[in-house]
């Protein structure tokens, strides 16, 4: 497994396992299978409602804690955000059954972002969160956060897939010392990704599936990927992407698929800000 080094020296695997939209009752079994397949980076969130199941799988695995990289995320907190963010973190930690997380992300760029970030900085200083970062931040919001706070986010987890490649965003993050991490790497199958002619042709040339081609494309771009599956055979397939490499021509061909637009929603849309302002979770 290849690791990437974050801006504070913490290392994380470039390929992990995500549990978004996996029902809580299926999560423990899925994470157990993922760990058996070799995954050591696990990505969950308070908003997913499955932190406890992730924690049970970790405990039962017997894998030494230092071999695992566990990520969870802070949901939008009402004022006073600093106190509420710490309480939310403590609840996440209790649900996971851990004494620290390796990466703690601010899940959405809304609410009292700066109060939340100050709380996260303190958690980082105390060693409770080995690294802290954000998710779904567009470049203007990311740079503003960096300029007005002491700690630069280690990671920005954003929608990144062949149809929305975020190349310019990645270059800005690289210049600022922020690691890009992909969510939605398979675009949830939209735009017929799994049967796309170009991706299928490239896969055939390497004896690999479209999913493997997409993951390899992300890895060669130095993008951390966290694919999700509940099928052990698919987990193993997704993990088997370190024995081949895409050519420069193939990488260039995939670059032509970029539409420059989200296939889900735009966090800069005022309607989305309104929707998120009304959504709270018991965290």
Distance CA 206, CA 176 (A): 35
The greatest distance separating any two alpha carbons of the chain, rounded to the nearest whole angstrom, comes to 55
Block residue for tokens 């390796």: 102
Structure tokens at 35: 């760990």
Contacts of 16 (CB under 8 A, 6+ apart): 39, 40, 41, 42, 43, 69, 71, 224, 225, 226
User: Do 38 and 239 contact (CB within 8 A), yes or no?
Assistant: yes
Residue 48 is a catalytic residue: yes
Distance CA 160, CA 166 (A): 6
Distance CA 180, CA 162 (A): 15
List 20, 39, 48, 138, catalytic entry:
48
Distance CA 183, CA 236 (A): 19
- Please list the active-site residues: 48
């Amino acid at each position: 497994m290849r690791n990437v080094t974050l801006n504070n020296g913490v290392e994380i695997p470039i390929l992990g396992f995500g549990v978004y939209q996996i029902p809580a009752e299926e999560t423990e079994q899925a994470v157990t299978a993922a760990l058996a397949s070799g995954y050591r980076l696990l990505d969950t969130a308070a908003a997913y409602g499955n932190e406890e199941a992730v924690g049970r799988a970790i405990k039962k695995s017997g894998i030494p804690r230092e071999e695992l990289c566990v990520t969870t995320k802070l949901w939008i907190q009402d004022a006073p955000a600093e106190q509420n963010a710490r309480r939310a973190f403590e609840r996440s930690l209790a649900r996971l059954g851990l004494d620290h997380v390796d990466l703690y992300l601010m899940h959405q760029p809304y609410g009292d972002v700066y109060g939340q970030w100050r709380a996260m900085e303190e958690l980082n200083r105390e060693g409770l969160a080995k690294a802290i970062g954000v998710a779904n931040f567009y470049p203007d919001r990311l740079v503003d956060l960096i300029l007005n706070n002491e700690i630069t986010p280690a990671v920005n987890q954003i929608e990144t897939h062949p149809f929305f490649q975020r190349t310019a965003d990645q270059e800005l993050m690289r210049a600022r010392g922020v690691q890009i991490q992909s969510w939605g790497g398979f675009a949830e199958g939209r735009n017929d990704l799994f049967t796309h002619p170009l991706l299928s042709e490239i896969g055939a040339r390497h004896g690999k599936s479209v999913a493997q081609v997409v993951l390899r494309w992300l890895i060669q771009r130095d993008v951390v990927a966290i694919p999700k599956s509940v099928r052990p055979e698919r987990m193993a397939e997704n993990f088997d992407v370190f024995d081949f490499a895409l050519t420069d021509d193939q990488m260039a061909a995939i670059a032509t698929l970029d539409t420059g637009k989200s296939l889900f929603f735009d966090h800069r849309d005022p309607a989305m800000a309104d929707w998120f302002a009304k959504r709270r979770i018991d965290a």
